[in-house]
Amino acid sequence: NAIKGPINDRIAFYNSLIAQHRWKIMKHCTHIIAAFEEAVYDEKKKNMDVRLDDGEMNVDSLDSTEYSTESIQDEIMYIAA
């Protein structure tokens, strides 16, 4: 069962790992690479943290990736300290 915490927390977590070169995507995982490269907020929902989910964006890959680490994000960040 996913915690499904605030989206900005999940995004910040992965942004941090990527910036620290601590998270890698294997080059044959083209769907997840595209999902991270193409992710944008929904412009119709101003002042809300909602990803664009228009059927063309691969938000399911983003969600599943983020949910898979959500329960251990604090531990992962602590290890880096």
Between 9 and 2, whose confidence is greater?
9
Give me the residue spans of the domains in the chain.
27-78
Dihedral, 6, 15, 67, 71 alpha carbons, nearest 10: -80
Is the pTM for the entire model greater than 0.75?
A: yes
pLDDT at 50: 86
Coil, strand or helix at 30: helix
pLDDT in tens, 57-71: 899 999 999 999 999
pLDDT in tens, 10-44: 999 999 999 999 999 999 999 999 999 999 999 99
pLDDT at 80: 67
Phi, psi of 22, deg, nearest 5: -105, 0
pLDDT at 52 over 80: yes
Cβ atoms 33, 43 nearer than 8 A:
no
Enter the tokens of residue 46: 């101003």
Share of the chain above pLDDT 70, in %: 96
